A and B are shown apart, each in its own frame.
Chain A
Amino acid sequence: MGIDRRKFIKASGLAALGLAGLAPVKLFGTEDSTQAVSDSVSSRKEIGKPLEGKRWAMVIDINKCLREENCTACVTACHTAHNIPHFDNSKDEIKWIWKETFHNAFPEQEHEHLKDHLLEKQLPLLCNHCDNPPCVKVCPTEATWKRERDGIVMMDWHRCIGCRYCMAACPYGSRSFNWRDPRPFIDRINPDFPTRTRGVVEKCTLCEERLRIGQLPACVEACKAHAMVFGDLEDPDSEVRALLRENFTIRRKPSLGTHPEIYYIV
């Protein structure tokens, strides 16, 4: 009986999800409107049906990732899509997704006799879009906040005052500050995404600008090894849930109670 009821709730939840997914399509999915927009779009693809999820999450398979020698496809894709400047010094550096050794990524879980590839190679790190984000708590202007509907930790670069309290509060080093005007340091500007002004903090937004037009995050799309899987954690049939069910996964600094939504298959 109990199981039946759970099944029923699941099923109705799914149905609700499906409806929610359809709703925005109805709102602006008509033929001529998409046409009108794409006429004026320079390089961006057509506006597709937005990806809808209640709790976005990502599962990164370290083994698959590390099999690709010195691959930085995810980093390049993200940094090109989001107009990330390139500075020669690490002091002014801006990064949304970057690679670190297991030792730096999981300081609490490392030891000196790990598998060779974990000791030597680097794995991708990005904003964890925590369920309990310390950066959001400390922001004095709500320039960074957690989206209730899908769990993305967002940034409003119009509002940020550049106090950098969020950078002090983030236990994962996921945030960067624009110490200087980034524009002269961007190799090729993508007109579909803004650059930033000096004096504001920025970080990964889980490609919310892509999700809303029906595209996967740039890093996930670019990953040749299919080591990064993106999906809705609340959907029991999603690929991320299947991967979490079938593999042993870890998260960064779980003891802090931030509940990261980026999972790593070791």
Chain B
Amino acid sequence: MRDKGRIIIGLVIFLILITFPVWYNVARGKAGYVPQLEKPATVKQCVRDTSFMKAHHMDLLDEWRDRVVRKGEVMDIDMAGKPVEMSLTRTCLGCHHNREAFCNRCHSYMDVSPYCWDCHVDPKETK
């Protein structure tokens, strides 16, 4: 066990390195940073409960995708019991007009890169 000291120093260095992003943000005064998302001004309620949407919007989009593409359905029923078209570009972007300030801001904070927009078209971007 003569290497005890070296091992401990090594472990400390490793811990500092791996937690570096935390210290870096603390130093910049951004420790508690949470992205501010732009919410729709007029509509108050999404097609599902807000907490569900926060955690599971991707699952709902997957479900919509399969129902539209594979089952050929068009409409879903929202929370209020009203029919809504299952469409990322028309229904989702219909309220969340600013994709950059809503989708992208949170995705980049979470460091996820969904590939929806490789194919689906944000109508604003074609104008």
Contact = CB atoms under 8 A, between A and B. Distances in A.
Contacts of A194: 119-121
Interface residues of A, number: 37
Q: Which of B82, B94, B95, B126 lies at the interface centre, i.e. has the most chain A CB atoms within 10 A of its CB?
A: B126
Interface string B63-93: 0010001101011000000111100011101
Given A37-B85, A40-B94, A191 B115 contact: no
A147 B121 CA distance: 26
A47 B84 CA distance: 11
Given A27-B83, A37-B84, A189-B121, A208 B72 contact: yes
B59 to A, nearest CB: 14
A80 B82 CA distance: 33
B72 A212 contact: yes
A232 to B, nearest CB: 15
Task: Name A's interface SS.
Answer: loop
B64 to A, nearest CB: 11
A97 to B, nearest CB: 21
Contacts of A195: 118-119, 121
Task: Name B's interface SS.
Answer: helix
Given A37-B84, A197-B115, A28 B74 contact: yes
Interface residues of B, number: 24
B91 A40 contact: yes
Interface string B39-66: 0000000000000000000000000010
Contacts of B94: 39-41
Given A28-B83, A39-B94, A40-B91, A47 B74 contact: yes
Which 5 pairs across A and B sit closest by C-beta, in order of nearness?
A40-B94, A191-B123, A28-B83, A28-B75, A194-B119
22 contacts: A27-B75, A27-B83, A28-B83, A32-B82, A33-B83, A36-B84, A37-B84, A40-B95, A145-B70, A154-B70, A156-B70, A190-B121, A191-B122, A191-B126, A192-B90, A194-B119, A194-B121, A195-B119, A195-B121, A197-B115, A197-B118, A213-B74
Given A40-B95, A191-B126, 12 more contacts: A33-B82, A36-B84, A47-B74, A83-B121, A154-B69, A189-B121, A192-B89, A194-B119, A194-B121, A196-B119, A197-B119, A208-B72
